[in-house]
């Protein structure tokens, strides 16, 4: 009769070590899961605060001109839809949305007398309003937490043919985010009322996009916007609070 104690068996210790390791991994996994969930909840909370802050800034910008109320939020939505059609990730679509909301932030440096003038601007007034892109770029140039936000503000009035303002960049030298916002911004400008005219029809805006593809607009982005229009995803209504 063999009288071998269980604790003297190498297999016992191997099994015990395996069980201990499994238990340690299980506990660590649960701790990490709890930490992950807590971190995820905190990230969602921060994202919510950030979005509310950006939307507030957008409404402050639009409030300078009652005829552009909701403009920044609509441009943000259109830009996000365009980015989605272009294959952007969910994270990048959200980034585009936030950039779109602040694309006109430079208008806080333009006098209300020009923004709210009941008529078309003369050449000197138009030159003054053009400065909003440089002002916006300077305001946002150190906002490194959101890549592309300064470019969206600074270059969204550049044209594909180089005849825009203020740096006269052309083609793909214009950052893609600015080319997206250019299309979104122009569509909303046409289909929204202005102090000097009524809102133009979606059909008219669609024809203008087609006509200006390759001159004012990126010829690859215009078809994306047309698909959104034809599918009924654009235009949208923004409820003001």
| DSSP one-letter code for 146 | S
pLDDT value of position 182: 99
The per-residue pLDDT for 11 is 59
Collapsing DSSP to helix, strand or coil, 194 comes out as strand
E-only strand ranges, the chain: none
Q: What is the pLDDT of residue 102?
A: 93
Output the pLDDT for position 69. 79
Could you tell me how far CA 127 lies from the centroid of its own chain?
27
Q: Which uninterrupted H or E stretch holds 141?
A: none
How far is it, in rounded angstroms, from Cα 132 to Cα 134? 6
Confirm whether 64 is a catalytic residue. Answer: no
Q: What is the pLDDT of residue 135?
A: 94
Residue 239 DSSP SS3: coil
Core vs surface per residue 202-217: b (16+ CB within 10 A) or e: eeebbebbeebbeebb
Q: Cβ(187)–Cβ(205) under 8 Å?
A: yes
pLDDT of residue 2: 43
- C-alpha 197/C-alpha 54 separation (Å) is 29
One digit per residue, the tens of pLDDT, for the chain of length 241 reads: 444 454 565 655 566 666 666 667 667 776 777 666 666 676 677 777 777 777 887 888 888 777 677 899 999 999 999 999 999 999 999 999 999 999 999 998 898 888 888 888 899 999 999 999 999 999 999 988 889 999 999 999 999 999 999 999 999 999 999 999 999 999 999 999 887 789 999 999 999 999 999 999 999 999 999 999 999 999 887 665 5
- What are the domain boundaries of the chain? 9-230
pLDDT of residue 36: 64
Cα–Cα distance between 226 and 168 in angstroms, integer? 26
For residues 153 and 139, is the Cβ–Cβ distance under 8 A?
yes
138 burial (CB, 10 Å; 0-12 / 13-18 / 19+) is: middle
Which residue out of 107, 154, 163, 198 is catalytically annotated? 107
Residue that is written with structure tokens 């299980």 in the block: 26
What's the CATH number for 9-230? 1.10.3210.10
Cβ neighbours, 10 Å, residue 163: 11
- Looking at residue 13, its pLDDT comes to 59
Dihedral through CA 223, CA 100, CA 155, CA 65, nearest 10?
110
């Amino acid at each position: 009769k063999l009288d071998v104690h269980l604790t003297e068996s190498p297999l016992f210790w191997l099994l015990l070590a395996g069980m201990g390791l499994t238990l340690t991994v299980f506990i660590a996994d649960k701790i990490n899961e709890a930490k992950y969930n807590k971190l995820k909840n905190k990230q969602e909370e921060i994202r919510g605060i950030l979005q509310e802050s950006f939307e507030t800034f957008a409404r402050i910008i639009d409030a300078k001109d009652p005829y552009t109320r909701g403009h920044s939020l609509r441009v943000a939505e259109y830009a996000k839809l365009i980015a989605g059609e272009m294959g952007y990730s969910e994270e990048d679509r959200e980034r585009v949305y936030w950039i779109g909301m602040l694309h006109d932030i430079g208008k806080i440096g333009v006098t209300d007398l020009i923004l709210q003038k009941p008529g078309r601007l003369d050449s000197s007034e138009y030159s003054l309003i053009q400065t909003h892109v440089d002002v916006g770029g300077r305001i946002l140039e150190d906002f490194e937490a959101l890549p592309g936000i300064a470019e969206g503000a600074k270059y969204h009035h550049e044209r594909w043919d180089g005849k825009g303002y203020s740096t006269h960049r052309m083609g793909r030298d214009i950052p893609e985010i600015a080319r997206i916002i250019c299309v979104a911004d122009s569509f909303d400008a046409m289909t929204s009322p202005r102090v000097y005219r009524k809102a133009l029809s979606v059909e008219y805006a669609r024809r203008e996009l087609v006509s200006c593809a390759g001159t004012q607009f990126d010829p690859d982005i215009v078809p994306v916007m047309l698909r959104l229009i034809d599918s009924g995803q654009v235009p949208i209504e923004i409820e003001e609070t």
